[in-house]
Amino acid sequence: MIFRSAPSPRVPDRQALCGILFVLHTGIQWETCPRSSASARA
């Protein structure tokens, strides 16, 4: 029997696009990106 974890909640499209553009613009690595949207807006 295979157990699967619960899926992550969907992120709004605009928030996902802003995160992708932030990474491309700044050159920051995905692992070092802020996880919460509040810290990304600051």
The pLDDT tens digits for 25-42 are 998 888 887 776 544 444
Find the mean pLDDT for residues 12-34: 88
**Whole-number pLDDT of residue 33:** 76
Structure token pair of residue 40: 């990304």
Say whether pLDDT at 12 is over 70.
yes
How many angstroms separate the CA atoms of 13 and 21, rounded? 12
Q: Is the pTM of this model over 0.85?
A: no
Under a CB-based contact definition with an 8 Å cutoff, are residues 37 and 15 in contact?
Answer: yes
Find the mean pLDDT for residues 5-20: 87
Q: What is the 3-state secondary structure (H, E, C) of 4-42?
A: CCCCCCCCCHHHHHHHHHHHHHHCCCHHHCCCCHHHHHC
pLDDT category at 13 given cuts 50, 70, 90 is very high
Structure token pair of residue 24: 């491309």
